[in-house]
Structure 1
Amino acid sequence: MSFKIGYRTLKTAVGAGLAVAIAQALNLEFYGSAAIITVLCISVTRRDSLQVSWARLVACFIGIAISGTLFELIGYHPWTLALIILLFIPIVVMLKMNAGIATSSVIILHLYTVTEISFALIVNEILLIIIGIGVALLMNLYMPSSDLALRHYHQEIENHFKTILFELSVYLRKGESEWDGKEIPETVDLLQKGKNLAIQNIHNHILRYEDQYYYYFKMREKQFEILERLMPFVSKIHHTVEQSETVANFLEELSRSVSPANRVPYFLERLRLMRKGFEDMPLPTTREEFEVRSALVYIMHELEEYLHIKDRLWNEADKKKL
């Protein structure tokens, strides 16, 4: 196993040291707690960090208010501490501030350790919270760009789609194929990884909730479901007819045109003309020819839906940009 230091580990280490340095420079009590708060608040994305920081800030103020009141009324006893936690946790859970439970527990224990509530102590704890959260937010301003990885997933998925569509066209022409189908599971993996990274990229932008990569992976995921539905029908066609060559040519051209560009209207028109041409042809004369032509009609129907998915999501993405 190789030893590796990631950017998040580096940010956490630098942030913890910086938080302690600031707290010590201000002569705060329990200055080490500033590092703990910083470590807890550094998250994978900027949006998560902001949400977690807000939860910890609110929870800490609630914890100070409850513990300060009960310690002064009942006294600094272990059972008082238990009662405080018994009340505190349900309140923050109800307010959906669960992320602040650990940080607030540290602050509550500070008050218990000192056994005296004073204005100076409250200020000390508030400053620890502000320093810890502030340094964490500062560290999270840096997030490595995901563009290179997203472009990689984008290109690999395009290549896999081209291969799949081309191999389907080969099978329709010859009634057989030497293709091992490895692109199928690989595409599933690429789509999942690409979409997850696109979502993470969105969460690194506070005000952005959608982006073009997210729409792209979403589109390809839905299109891939159609390709998976097509495969059993293509694999059952062992006898070629005149229409098989026409659909195979269409699939081959479609494979060469896999790209982010929107050529849907052109291919939809091609499908319309193909369907019209099929209708004008003589009826099948054998059961086998009937079954093959029925399968081809179904394949064309699915390919039409394949194209409509891109058109719908393309238009949806354009509207989001307005």
Structure 2
Amino acid sequence: MKIGYRTVKTAVGTGLSLAIAQWLGLQFYSSAAVITILCIKTTKKKSYQTAWERVLACVLGLVLAILVFELLGYHAWGLTILMLLLIPLCVKLKATDGITTATVVILHLYILKEVSLPIVINEGLLIVIGIGMAVLANMHMPSSEKKLKEIQQQIEANFKAILRELAAYLRDKDQQWDGKEITETAQLLKEAKALALRDIENVAPYDCAYYYRYFEMRERQFEILERIAPSVSSLDHCCQESLIVGEFLDRLAGAVHPGNTASHYLEELEQISRRFKESALPQTLEEFETRAAVYHFIGEMKRYLKIKRDLWIKQKQKEETKKNKFNWKKAGCL
């Protein structure tokens, strides 16, 4: 059995909410603990959003409960009418997460069968304690940077393996490869993007947005790798073009890392493309098909490298903008 950080926060926050509400002598003090459990979410952003929705729904629920119960009486059909009013209003105000909490407050009034200032204050304190403790518990969220870096390294290792396997296939078509890196990479990219997105809602948006953009870039590159695999398999491993392509893939595999090497390899691809254009025209159908597959491969690899180059350029521009903004602020101009 594994106890995670969120579980610990939920347990501690629930206990503290219950203890505070009980110490204050509030009626239905256990409801404060329930509200805390409902409000603790996976990210700060979701926690704050949920807190706001619950406060809004509870206030709305209290107002409607006072009006409906005092006018129509404390009856089950009165509660039915109240819910028919509350739920559409919460949906309209985009506070659907607060319907459950508001219902708890409404049922307290229904059980007590009266409305007074002390009762309203009691319910308000339950809401403040329950939601406030949840917000405090979610103030600290652990960064996933270490995990993101590990996934980044694993994805890059898989990219290297895929490129080298494709290069090996061009040199020797008898090479056996089960393609497990492709399946593994697809799953890692999905996990990494979800984790990076969660971190954006928790920690410094600028730092974590880099990882999200990075994994988006790798995802687009991965789609290209999946596309070029069939075209590589159609190349004749005995021809000069295939050997050149294989050598290029080997060199490219050694340069898979977060840094910017795309411009260098784009230039190398241009040189390879010019070299093929200057070579003799294909004489047979097989040579023609091989040449066509080579040009298709070069076009796809250009797209592969431009995706990485564009990310690096954007990242540099963002860093420069952030640096300039800091300098202007330091100089007292902002």
TM-score range, shorter chain: over 0.9
In the alignment, which residue of structure 1 is the partner of 2:247? Answer: 249
Unaligned runs of 5+ in 2: 322-334
Q: When the two structures are superposed, what TM-score results if normalisation uses the length of structure 2?
A: 0.92
In 1, are the aligned partners of 2:54 and 2:101 still within 8 Å (CA)? Answer: yes
Letter in 2 for 1:288: E
User: Quick one: which of 168, 184, 187 aligns to 1:186?
Assistant: 184
Deviations 1:112-147 (A, max 9, x none): 111111111111111110110110011112322212
Cα distance, 1:69 vs. partner? 1.0
1:76 alignment partner, SS class: coil
Distance (whole Å) between structure 1 residues aligned to residue 227 and residue 304 of structure 2? 11
The structure-2 alpha-carbon separation of the partners of 1:54 and 1:208, relative to structure 1 and needing over 3 Å to count, comes to farther
The structure-2 alpha-carbon separation of the partners of 1:207 and 1:230, relative to structure 1 and needing over 3 Å to count, comes to closer
Does structure 1 residue 69 correspond to structure 2 residue 67?
yes
In the alignment, which residue of structure 2 is the partner of 1:280? Answer: 278
The structure-2 alpha-carbon separation of the partners of 1:207 and 1:227, relative to structure 1 and needing over 3 Å to count, comes to closer
Letter in 2 for 1:12: T
* More moved, 265-274 vs 169-178: 169-178
Does structure 1 residue 261 correspond to structure 2 residue 259?
yes
Distance (whole Å) between structure 2 residues aligned to residue 176 and residue 302 of structure 1? 25
Distance (whole Å) between structure 1 residues aligned to residue 146 and residue 100 of structure 2? 36
In the alignment, which residue of structure 2 is the partner of 1:140? Answer: 138
In 1, are the aligned partners of 2:235 and 2:242 still within 8 Å (CA)? Answer: no
In 1, are the aligned partners of 2:199 and 2:208 still within 8 Å (CA)? Answer: no
In the alignment, which residue of structure 1 is the partner of 2:48? Answer: 50
Cα distance, 1:191 vs. partner? 0.8
Cα distance, 1:210 vs. partner? 5.9
What does 1:143-154 correspond to in 2, within 5 Å? Answer: 143-154=141-152
What does 1:1-322 correspond to in 2, within 5 Å? Answer: 3-205=1-203, 211-321=209-319, 322=321
The structure-2 alpha-carbon separation of the partners of 1:165 and 1:239, relative to structure 1 and needing over 3 Å to count, comes to closer
Deviations 1:82-134 (A, max 9, x none): 11011100100111100000000000001111111111111111111011011
Cα distance, 1:15 vs. partner? 0.7
Cα distance, 1:318 vs. partner? 3.8
1:57 alignment partner, SS class: helix
How many residue pairs align between the two structures? 320
Distance (whole Å) between structure 1 residues aligned to residue 284 and residue 204 of structure 2? 63
In 1, are the aligned partners of 2:143 and 2:203 still within 8 Å (CA)? Answer: no
Unaligned runs of 5+ in 1: none
Cα distance, 1:319 vs. partner? 4.1
Distance (whole Å) between structure 2 residues aligned to residue 269 and residue 113 of structure 1? 77
Cα distance, 1:284 vs. partner? 1.2
Distance (whole Å) between structure 2 residues aligned to residue 268 and residue 207 of structure 1? 31
1:259 alignment partner, SS class: coil
Q: Provide the identity percentage.
A: 48
Cα distance, 1:18 vs. partner? 0.2
Deviations 1:36-84 (A, max 9, x none): 1000000011111111111001000000000111111111111111110
CA-atom RMSD in angstroms:
1.5
Distance (whole Å) between structure 1 residues aligned to residue 277 and residue 130 of structure 2? 72
Letter in 2 for 1:219: M
The structure-2 alpha-carbon separation of the partners of 1:207 and 1:97, relative to structure 1 and needing over 3 Å to count, comes to farther
Distance (whole Å) between structure 2 residues aligned to residue 66 and residue 108 of structure 1? 9
1:211 alignment partner, SS class: helix
In 1, are the aligned partners of 2:228 and 2:300 still within 8 Å (CA)? Answer: yes
